[in-house]
Amino acid sequence: MFLVVGLGNPGRKYEHTRHNVGFDVVDILSQKYDIPLRKSRCKAITGEGVIAGQKVALALPQTYMNLSGESVVQLVNWYKPEMDQLLVCYDDIDLPDGKVRFRPSGSAGTHNGMRNIIYLLGRDDFPRMRVGTGRPPEHMDLKDYVLMGYETKELRETMFQGYLLAAEAIAEYIRGGADAARKFLSNPPRERSGQ
């Protein structure tokens, strides 16, 4: 069974902020594949269904970002996915706004949620989908920046397109593995159509 975890902070005040990219992408998967997120389990809101012919659990940890690993470890123990079937989606300040990257494994980079997951799982050999949020202006504290929403309609649209792309890339990963996800992201639909 695939386990797709979107990282974010619970609560209204954090909705649609830069740090809640993972929640927004998993919400899109929930809607697109009719997998309601209703169950409270393993310190997360979860839902189970089918994507690309595979059984999938979607999860939104409710632990706050820096403690995401507490929920992910419990989810892994509950659903028992193989490590290549655990996919984590989150924000990345080192990528431009709305840019999506897939990696089959690796370090946490600057992301505290991922750092906590890797620390508590004791391994980093699981795939992740990152959506870029850009870097904060020089004068701004990183913590304030990632907890902000998007300032302009154009930026909101750019980010939403990134969320859609990440959700599609996750479905491609579930359908055909790492190569399928990479191939999809190297030539995404809107670039193919010249939009």
40-69 tens-digit pLDDT: 999 999 999 999 999 999 999 999 999 999
- At 190 the pLDDT is 64
Band of pLDDT at residue 120, cut at 50, 70 and 90: very high
Query: pLDDT tens, 123-153?
Result: 999 999 999 999 888 888 888 888 888 989 9
**Cβ pair 75, 117 in contact under 8 A:** no
Res. 26: pLDDT tops 90: yes
List the end-to-end C-alpha distance of the chain, in Å, as a whole number: 36
Topology (CATH level 3) of domain 2-192: Rossmann fold (3.40.50)
| pLDDT single digits (tens) 75-114 | 999 999 999 999 999 999 999 999 999 999 998 888 999 9
**Amino acid identity of 117?**
I
Neighbours of 174 (CB within 10 A): 23
Nearest-angstrom CA–CA distance, 178 and 85: 11
Task: Return the pLDDT at 191.
Answer: 54
Residues 6 or more apart whose CB falls under 8 angstroms from that of 166 comprise 21, 25, 89, 100, 129, 131
Catalytic machinery residues: 19
> In 3-state terms, what secondary structure has residue 14?
helix
